[in-house]
Chains A and B, each alone.
Chain A
């Protein structure tokens, strides 16, 4: 949702000129145009190390990245944490200007008929199946009940779920999901591997309470920034990603997400 002027693709020189105008306005009292203001829909869940919005405040790597871009682009992002299933609908009904994170492969049927602009890949993700360590290396046919957190679709298991070979049991959060797996009520948990390790470390004291079984179905992709009506901002963001690659890498490093990209590279 655009509350200020439309984006005009300002450059770094433009930023400096704008900053100078703001300074002059403060000194002389002459009114200046307000900064561009956009609403970004984000997930209201604890999805660290990528991001977290469960406290009502968007934080983590995603926040640092978008804030850095906004600061340099001279725009203002307002973050609106929403349940993950609401994000796409909110974007499609123009309740938010941008959606983060997003992936064109998620719920493609809902996106059909809509023109959505996606940014370049920002950070890679790996959604996989985590099992108790003693169940590693077991064939996929041994897994009958799959657990997940509400709002996440186990795309990698879709065929098995549709055929009825595997049943899905949703849980309110990661703690419940882990307890379900550890108590053997479900055979495995489908979740983001990095997030699962982070949650395991904070909930159970060590990151490997559940083991990622690479032989079981998994899905890989990249988080992107998406919009319907502000492609120019996306273009500026894409240029910024290229221009500030080192800074972004540093942000990933600090968030512990550099391994994610490396693991993808390793798999690839």
Chain B
């Protein structure tokens, strides 16, 4: 049964049974608390009284013995039974004393007296609480004429533990009685005050609350609570008054809101009806549009299929073009094993590209040419076809190879082959293609090499003792109708130490965007990487360089063709 149902079953709104009343509960709790508190404090007091009484009895008896010590000693010294009896009788005046004995130093009892024991009492069970402090014995001495003090006997006093317990418990019972009486009196007083100050005003308030009209709470007339204007009851009344007023306001607002809601509902219904009609019309329009879109999608699919077919054809064309371009590249073994170790990494941006290289050996003379033609993809590949043709012609027709001369001839022939040597100015519609190129020439086994370049292809020389040095070519480009041929192409000589490695590379490597912050890879990073991994073989160097480049590029797309030629010539010591 819940509390509310219990209330409904056992009480009415006008009358509360006594046992459920606040006054009864408060009285019971107050009485219980006071009794428990009194019991706790009383127990503590009992213990303290017990200890205090033990001390008091002991001290009092010792003081009493101090008083009679002289007389008792005199009686024992004189062996005067009469005086001894007086001392004994004097000590027996104290009701706690049960037995007194004066025993002389000859072992004889001079005087003694024993009080008859108490009749059986409930107090006797407590007597053992005092059993350890009942015997008192005091040796007695008498001064001699020579000043010495001679022991003349013993005064022994035995207290009655029953009388000690009786005296203690009588005091305890008296304290307990007054404690209970005090608890009851306090409880009654508190109950009366509680009823007058709280319960009665609460009842008035409850009756008044029972009279509240739920439909018109604002018209409630508050009861008079004299003397409670500023206390918690007054505060409760004020809050109740405010609550009822707020409730009345809420009811009024509810009525107004209900009316507004009704009007709004009507308006909404009207709007919904209009919108429904509009939607139905829109649905009809959508059906029409849907048909049109479906037709458009069908056309788009057809177009997509055509595009896919075209793309497939284009890819196949590119793949074939790559095969053609790949076959145009020389075999690295063409230089021979005695020339040194050589590794090439050629990777066009698309299937074909504008990077091209050539290797050739004539006698003991070896040549490496690397070119970066205009553009990439198919246009770049076309330029490499022109370059390959021109290069073959130049190398075949030149009796003595010299890097700068070779590059100048290539420039001239490319211009002619692409029609860029016409005297009339460039119109913007003619070919304006060209290339950057570099040539490396040396005798097999010699440590002296010749290098010439035009444009952006550098020669990196990794000396195991000195680190990497860079040789740059002449500024400008080869080809290009809009540009003049380079004024003078310089051939640079370099002497290699045994174990040195040379690198030719196009700008597709160094101009790759990536990293964080986002920027070009740059030649410096490349050089640092090569220096750090100089001990690796050339294949491992190229593979590691590709991984480093991929890591650096991350999500960035590639921007250009890339070609790297690594060459470690065999240098024979001079004879």
Contact = CB atoms under 8 A, between A and B. Distances in A.
Contacts of B104: 89
Of A57, A86, A150, most buried by chain B (CB within 10 Å of CB) is A86
Interface in B69-84: 77-80, 82-83
Size class of the A contact interface (CB-based, 8 Å): 10 to 19
A190 to B, nearest CB: 16
B516 interface: no
A83 B78 contact: yes
Given A56-B145, A81-B145, A151 B78 contact: yes
A170 B82 contact: yes
A55 B106 contact: no
Contacts of B145: 44, 55-57, 81
Nearest to A90: B106
A151 B106 contact: no
A151 B146 contact: no
A85 B146 contact: no
B106 A89 contact: yes
A11 B451 CA distance: 163
Contacts of B82: 150, 170
A85 B106 contact: no
Contacts of A56: 144-146
Contacts of A89: 79, 104, 106, 108
Interface in A170-220: 170
A82 to B, nearest CB: 9
A32 to B, nearest CB: 29
Contact of B79 (A55, A57, A81, A85): A85
A116 B471 CA distance: 152
A83 B106 contact: no
B146 A86 contact: no
Contacts of A57: 145
B133 to A, nearest CB: 33
A44 B142 CA distance: 14
Nearest to A110: B108
- Chain A contact surface mostly: loop
A93 B77 CA distance: 16
B81 to A, nearest CB: 9
B104 to A, nearest CB: 8
Contact of A150 (B78, B106, B108, B146): B78
Given A89-B106, A93-B106, A83 B146 contact: no
Contacts of A83: 77-79
B153 to A, nearest CB: 11
A151 B77 contact: no
A257 B145 CA distance: 28
A151 B82 CA distance: 11
Nearest to A169: B82
Contact of B78 (A55, A81, A85, A93): A85
B225 to A, nearest CB: 88
A86 B80 contact: no
Interface size class of B (residues with CB under 8 A): 10 to 19
Interface in A70-106: 81, 83, 85-86, 89, 93
Interface in A142-163: 150-151
B495 to A, nearest CB: 135
B173 to A, nearest CB: 47
Nearest to A44: B145
Nearest to B78: A83
Nearest to B79: A85
A55 B104 CA distance: 24
B77 A150 contact: no
Nearest to B142: A83
A55 B144 CA distance: 10
Contacts of B80: 85, 150-151, 170
Contacts of A151: 78-80
Contacts of B144: 56
Contacts of B77: 83, 86
A256 B466 CA distance: 153
Nearest to B81: A85
Interface string B90-119: 000000000000001010100000000000
A151 B144 CA distance: 18
Nearest to B144: A56
A248 B559 CA distance: 163
Interface string B50-83: 0000000000000000000000000001111011
A83 B146 CA distance: 15
A122 B82 CA distance: 32
B102 to A, nearest CB: 13
Contacts of A150: 78, 80, 82-83
A177 B135 CA distance: 39
Contacts of B79: 83, 85-86, 89, 151
Interface string A44-59: 1000000000011100
Interface string B201-236: 000000000000000000000000000000000000
Contacts of B78: 83, 85-86, 150-151
Contacts of A170: 80, 82
A150 B74 CA distance: 12
A81 B83 CA distance: 21
- Most A CB atoms within 10 A — which of B77, B82, B108, B145? B145
B152 to A, nearest CB: 9
B142 to A, nearest CB: 9
A93 B78 CA distance: 17
Contacts of A55: 145
Interface centre among B77, B78, B108, B146 (most CB of A within 10 A): B78
Contacts of A85: 78-80
A47 to B, nearest CB: 15
A44 B80 CA distance: 15
Interface string B116-155: 0000000000000000000000000000111000000000
**Quick one: which of B77, B79, B83, B106 has the most chain A CB within 10 A?**
B79
A151 B83 CA distance: 11
A86 B75 CA distance: 11
Of the candidates A57, A89, A151, the one having the most CB atoms from chain B within 10 angstroms of its own CB is: A89
Nearest to A92: B106
A55 B146 CA distance: 10
Nearest to A87: B79
B353 to A, nearest CB: 144
A110 to B, nearest CB: 10
A57 to B, nearest CB: 8
A93 B83 CA distance: 23
Contacts of B106: 89, 93
A61 to B, nearest CB: 20
Nearest to A93: B106
A83 B145 CA distance: 12
Contacts of B108: 89
Nearest to B104: A89
Kindly list the 5 A-B residue pairs having the minimum CB-CB distance in the complex, ordered from nearest: A56-B145, A85-B79, A83-B78, A89-B106, A150-B80
7 contacts: A56-B144, A83-B77, A85-B78, A150-B80, A150-B82, A151-B79, A170-B80
Given A85-B80, A86-B79, 16 more contacts: A55-B145, A56-B144, A56-B145, A56-B146, A57-B145, A83-B77, A83-B78, A85-B79, A86-B77, A86-B78, A89-B106, A93-B106, A150-B78, A150-B82, A150-B83, A170-B82
